[in-house]
Amino acid sequence: MKRKGILIVVSGFSGSGKGTLMKRLLSQYPDTYALSISATTRAPRKGEEHGREYFFISKDEFEKMIVKGELIEYARYVENYYGTPRVYVEQKLDEGKDVILEIEIQGALKVKQAFPDTLLLFVTPPNAAELEKRLVGRGTETMDVIRSRLDRACEEAEGMDSYDYLIVNDELEACVSQMHEIIRGEHHRSFRNEVFIKEIKEDLEKLKRR
């Protein structure tokens, strides 16, 4: 039986460790998962590459993608646009991969509305002080931007209970395993196995009539 891919959204406060987690998950299970690469109008951070972390594009190019319907969803986040290109996601789901979108909450809720079978995961650090420590420690944003991101975290916390699972990123490796196990479990949900259920029902009927 061909395994059907699950669409998974991973959200979490900026600095909670989503990016780090995703890299570990993908490197441990490269055949299971595909990570969608978003388009954004924000400038690349040191070490980020076009086509690897993001497609870094202009506001003009981004708005053209919106008009052409090339994005599954998009949102504004702290002065910039971020969006999920459609083609890659559809192609990888068809190949049977579990496709992960690492996106913020407005986008997450739009994806859930358009694709109700989406699994929503929310990543959080163990506490607020640790979040600030990680954001500052990452050293990629000015204190002003860090403050905006912490403000945004307060707003995002309001939506945490819309997610299916809460994942506390305390010890990184334990967190990677937890996320993988949650997704594995999700494949066993009966509504994700309708084809199997239909086939076994038909086979049982045939047996009965033999």
Measured from the CB atom, the residue of 5 and 107 that comes closer to ligand 5GP is 107
Regarding 169 and contact with ligand ADP (CB under 6 A), the answer is yes
Residues that bind ligand 5GP (CB under 6 A): 14, 38, 42, 73-75, 77, 82-84, 102-104, 106-107
The least distance separating ligand 5GP from the CB of residue 2, rounded to whole angstroms, comes to 28
- Please give the full DSSP string across the chain, using - where no structure is assigned: -PPPPPEEEEEE-TTSSHHHHHHHHHHH-TTTEEEPPEEESSPPPTT--BTTTEEE--HHHHHHHHHTT-EEEEEEETTEEEEEEHHHHHHHHHTTPEEEEE--HHHHHHHHHH-TT-EEEEEE-SSHHHHHHHHHHH--S-HHHHHHHHHHHHHHHTTGGGSSEEEE-SSHHHHHHHHHHHHHHHTT-GGG-HHHHHHHHHHHHHHHH-
38 makes contact with ligand ADP (CB under 6 A): no
- 7-36 residues in contact with ligand ADP (CB under 6 A) are 12, 14-20
Site string for ligand ADP, 126-145 (x = CB under 6 A): --------x--xx-------
Residue number, 134 or 192, with CB nearest to ligand ADP: 134
**53/63 with CB nearer ligand ADP:** 53
Question: Is residue 107 at the binding interface for ligand ADP, with CB under 6 A as the rule?
Answer: no
Q: Does 84 bind ligand ADP (CB under 6 A)?
A: no
> Residues 125, 170: contact at Cβ < 8 Å?
yes
Q: Which residues are annotated as a binding site?
A: 12-19
Residues that bind ligand ADP (CB under 6 A): 12, 14-20, 134, 137-138, 169, 172
